[in-house]
Structure 1
């Protein structure tokens, strides 16, 4: 079992991994990821989506693979 990404900073590390291939340096990827993770708006949206999914409802995000799959199968999304 690996300790990467670390549980206490997992979101920032995962976002930085996605950004890294598209920028000049790992340091820049972490800088951008940190801005995303610490954004109140982003945190609020993540919370809203998580709460909708936890309640078994569609989150309303047109890019949500979870809700898209539920729509195709005719079932309400579940966590």
Structure 2
């Protein structure tokens, strides 16, 4: 079995990052679930993905992909 599991990848990736800042994996996974299930966050992830898929800037000033696209010469 691969990790993170493909059917719950976002929650597991979030939990891995959160786990560095909380006392237990269970708490990290709980917080990650709340983030991953939030409709506003999901909509923002979808909006950013759609912009990147069409080659557009997503408008997030902290977006590494957009930063690299503007600083890379063709």
Same-fold call, TM cutoff 0.5: yes
Q: Hey, what does 1:65 align to over in structure 2? A: 64
Segments ≥4 residues shifted beyond 6 Å: none
Question: What is the number of equivalent residue pairs in this alignment?
Answer: 74
The structure-2 alpha-carbon separation of the partners of 1:36 and 1:9, relative to structure 1 and needing over 3 Å to count, comes to: same
TM-score computed with the length of structure 1 as normaliser:
0.89
Cα offset, 1:22, TM superposition: 0.4
Cα offset, 1:71, TM superposition: 1.1
- 1: CA distance, partners of 2:56 / 2:17: 28
- The answer on 1:3 being equivalent to 2:27 is no
Gaps in structure 2 of 5+ consecutive residues: none
TM-score computed with the length of structure 2 as normaliser:
0.94
Gaps in structure 1 of 5+ consecutive residues: none
CA-atom RMSD in angstroms:
1.1
